[in-house]
Structures are given as structure tokens and as C-alpha cells.
Structure 1
């Protein structure tokens, strides 16, 4: 799937691919990841230096978490769970990779809302996040242990805005711009 976006008048795109893990070691995973999904999302944009700095914000709703899959929560990079940044990846045209897996194959659902965003360098004092484009992806495990992979699929403009209360609660030192609707961008 390829999604287009515009940052400061310059067009870019995100190419997102979700694949079934057939060789866990090839993606840096353990044997338990066999048959689970892995996501790779690549950014293409003509910006250079700070003009190419983007970040990935990912929220997950999983039926095996404390909420039982009733609400989304932040999905920080596993090596930095205590990070105070809303970004799980950040840098010049960062590639997002994720490979969620479980030790057992109990019935469950796992859904991610993944957003490409940026922080204007002139606004680093305020740590401001501006959304660009988002997509959903995930998996389900049925009662026989079979894994069904979903996505990626584009998210509507309203998806980011629905997550603003969570983002603002978990990251009070940051501000979050609302996602303009398609109608707002065309006027």
C-alpha cells in the first residue's frame, strides 16, 4: 500500500507492507514469531536534513492487554518502554519495522493504528506533533491457533483525532495538532 502526504508543500509517500513471518531469524525475531505479521513502512520525501525528519506514532488495541481490547494504548519501541516521546521511531525518513508475536496461540485480536508525523524544528521547545498520514494493520488468532493478518489499510482523517485524548494524557509535555480533514486540506 502506498499513501501520499504533503509536508510544508512538498509531496511524499509511505509504502507499507505487512507480511507473514516465514523465517523469524531473518527479521531478528525468535521462533515464536513464525506465522505472525511483520510490518515495514518506508518514507519517501524530497526533504534533506531536518526537512527529512519524521516520526512514527503507533497505538495498539489488543484483547490480551489489561483493557481486554476495549481501548487503544501507546506502543513504544520495546527497548525504550519508559520513553517520554510519543514516537516509537524518529529520524531522517525513518523506516518503521514491527513484528508483534505471542508465546502461545490463544484466541485474541491485535490492531495497530500507525501514523507518520513530524515535529517542526522551530517548535522543539513546545514539542509539537503534526500528523501526516495513518494506516491500520494487525492480526487475529482463532480458537485453533491460526493467525489471520489484516492490512495495511488507510485510516480515515478522523482516526488521529480520536486518539488525541490518549496522546495528550500520556505525553503532557507535548502538543498534538489535529489531523485536518480532506475537505479542510482542499479549501
Structure 2
């Protein structure tokens, strides 16, 4: 799936691919990850250096974890205090959720590309650009069904704002860009 975005008058896009894991070792995963999804989201953008700094905000709702969306931080940086699970110069987002058991469940991610303006001072602020959902489910026969990447709407970002503000009180979050 390709999703266009505009940042500071420049057009870019993300390419999000959800694939079934056939060789867990090839992606640094354990054997339990076989047949689960892996996501790769790449950014194409003409800016360079600081002008191409982006971050990924990902929230997950899982029936084996809770009824509400929660932050999905990169485990090594879970205590960093940032809403971004990945940040850098045109960072590629990779995720490979898996479970040790194959009990019936549904896992859904809302993934947003954003950026933090780098003016004279750097403020902890997220400006969303575009978002998509993806995930998987496991049925009673232990079959894993992948949910392909699909665009989210500005209302999806807006729905997460109270939670984001509560989880990251030192950060501010811009409204969603207008659709279209």
C-alpha cells in the first residue's frame, strides 16, 4: 500500500507491506513467529538530513492484552518517554508481532507517521502526517489471518489524542491533517 503525505510543502509517501513470516530467523525472530505478520513501512521523501527527520507512533489493541489501544514502544526504549517507537532520518518501521501460543485473538495496530519541527528550540511535539492500520487474528483452528495495511482517517488520529496526552504529558500533539 502506498500512502502520500505532505510535509512543509514537499510531497512524500510511505510504502507499507504486511507479509507472512515464512523464515523467522531471516528477520531475527524466533520459530514461534512463523505464519504471523511482519510489517515494513518505508518512507520516500525528497528532504535530507534534519529535513527528513520523521517518527513513527504506533498504538496496538489486542484481545489478549486489553480492550483499548495502548502504546507499542520499541522494547529497548520503552522508558524513554517518547511517543515515537522509531525516529530518525526517513526511518523504516519494522514490526513482527508474534505469540508463543495460538489461542484465538485479534491484534490491531494504528500506525502513524509524524514529525517534530526543528525550529530554534526543539519542543516535544508530534505533527501527524498519515496513518494506516494493520494486524492479524487467530481463529479456533489456530489459523493466523493477516490484516493488510489500510489507510486511517484523520478521525482515527483524533480519537487517540486524549490517550497520547495522558501517556506523554510533556509532549503536545497537533491535530490530524485534513483529509484529501
Q: Which bin holds the TM-score, normalised by the shorter protein? A: over 0.9
Residues 89-108 of structure 1 correspond to what in structure 2 (within 5 A)? 89-108=86-105
Deviations 1:42-78 (A, max 9, x none): 001010111000000000000011x2xx210000002
For 1:173, the equivalent position in structure 2 comes to 170
- How far apart, CA to CA, are the structure 2 residues paired with 1:115 and 1:163? 11
Query: Which secondary structure state, in structure 1, belongs to the residue aligned with residue 25 of structure 2?
Result: helix
Which residue does 2:76 correspond to in 1?
A: 79
Query: Which consecutive residues of structure 1, in runs of 5 or more, have no partner in the other structure?
Result: none
Q: Structure 2: which 5+ runs fail to align?
A: none
Residue of structure 2 equivalent to 1:143: 140
Q: Does 1:134 align with 2:112?
A: no
TM-score of the superposed pair, with normalisation by structure 1? 0.94
In the TM superposition, what is the alpha-carbon distance from 1:180 to its structure 2 partner? 2.6
CA distances 1:95-149 after superposition (whole Å, capped 9, x unpaired): 0000000000000000000000000011754311000000000000001110000
Q: Tell me, yes or no, if structure 1 residue 51 matches structure 2 residue 51.
A: yes
Question: Which runs of 4 or more aligned residues in structure 1 lie more than 4 Å from their structure 2 counterparts after TM superposition?
Answer: none
- Figure out how many residues of one structure are paired with residues of the other and give that number: 180
C-alpha distance in 1, partners of 2:171/2:120? 11
Q: Alignment partner of 1:79: what SS?
A: helix
Q: TM-score scaled by structure 2?
A: 0.97
CA RMSD of aligned residues (A): 1.1
